[in-house]
């Protein structure tokens, strides 16, 4: 059977520069060269994998609260408390009221067996950051 591994996650965005600022400046992902596609976007390195931002204003975007059971992707960290501090330094908080786009959903001890947090990017895509063991 052929061996498969994840290469990239593609994220729809209505505003590439706004999303790029979140993934680059808040989460610390590094921009990569991107071919000159006919639509806007950006590629970012995430370890040895990639996150691709794709300009698609007519895409389907979430309008509700963070729902960790809905479609999302997860980034793993070896410094969970450090990522919490980083997000807090950018105005995110687990104490923000429901409906606030900078609200963190925190599961320090969850059913998965490791710490998890969920945050919304500027287009309300759900991003999980966890401390899953390698």
For residues 24 and 22, give the distance between their C-alpha atoms in angstroms, rounded to a whole number. 6
Domain of 20, in residue numbers = 8-55
User: Does 126 reside within a domain?
Assistant: yes
Among the listed residues 74, 66, 71, the one whose alpha carbon sits nearest the alpha carbon of residue 46: 74
89 & 122 share domain: yes
49 & 77 share domain: no
The sign one gets for the Cα dihedral 15, 18, 19, 21 is positive
Is pTM, for the whole model, over 0.85?
yes
114 & 78 share domain: yes
Whether residue 116 is predicted with pLDDT greater than 90 in this model: the reply is yes
Mean pLDDT computed over every residue of the chain: 93
81 & 122 share domain: yes
User: Does 66 reside within a domain?
Assistant: no
86 & 126 share domain: yes
User: Does 2 reside within a domain?
Assistant: no
Instruction: Look at residue 64 in the predicted model and tell me its pLDDT.
Output: 81
User: Does 87 reside within a domain?
Assistant: yes
Among the listed residues 14, 6, 7, the one whose alpha carbon sits nearest the alpha carbon of residue 43: 7
Number of structural domains found in the chain: 2
Instruction: Look at residue 60 in the predicted model and tell me its pLDDT.
Output: 83
**H/E element, 129:** strand 126-130
123 & 79 share domain: yes
Tokens of 84: 């919490």
> Residues 33-89: pLDDT tens digits?
999 999 999 999 999 999 999 999 888 888 888 888 888 999 999 999 999 999 999
**SS percent in the chain: helix, strand, coil, step 5:** 15, 30, 55
Q: What is the DSSP letter of 71?
A: S
Separation in Å, CA 98 to CA 37, 104, 112, 116: 38, 10, 24, 18
Query: Cα–chain-centroid distance for residue 65?
Result: 15
48 & 12 share domain: yes
User: Does 83 reside within a domain?
Assistant: yes
Q: What is the DSSP letter of 29?
A: P
User: Does 38 reside within a domain?
Assistant: yes
CATH code for the domain in which residue 112 is found: 3.10.180.10
Instruction: Look at residue 92 in the predicted model and tell me its pLDDT.
Output: 97
């Amino acid at each position: 059977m052929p061996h498969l591994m994840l290469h990239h996650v593609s994220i729809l965005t209505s505003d590439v520069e706004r999303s790029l600022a979140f993934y680059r400046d808040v989460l610390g992902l590094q921009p990569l060269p991107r071919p000159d596609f006919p639509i806007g976007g950006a590629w970012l390195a995430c370890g040895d994998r990639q996150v691709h931002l794709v300009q698609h204003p007519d895409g389907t975007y979430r309008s509700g609260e963070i729902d960790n059971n809905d479609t999302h992707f997860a980034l793993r960290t070896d410094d969970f408390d450090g990522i919490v501090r980083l997000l807090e330094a950018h105005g995110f908080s687990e104490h923000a009221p429901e409906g606030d786009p900078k609200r963190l959903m925190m599961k320090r001890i969850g059913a998965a067996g490791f710490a998890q947090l969920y945050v919304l990017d500027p287009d309300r895509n759900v991003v999980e950051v966890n401390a899953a063991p390698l």
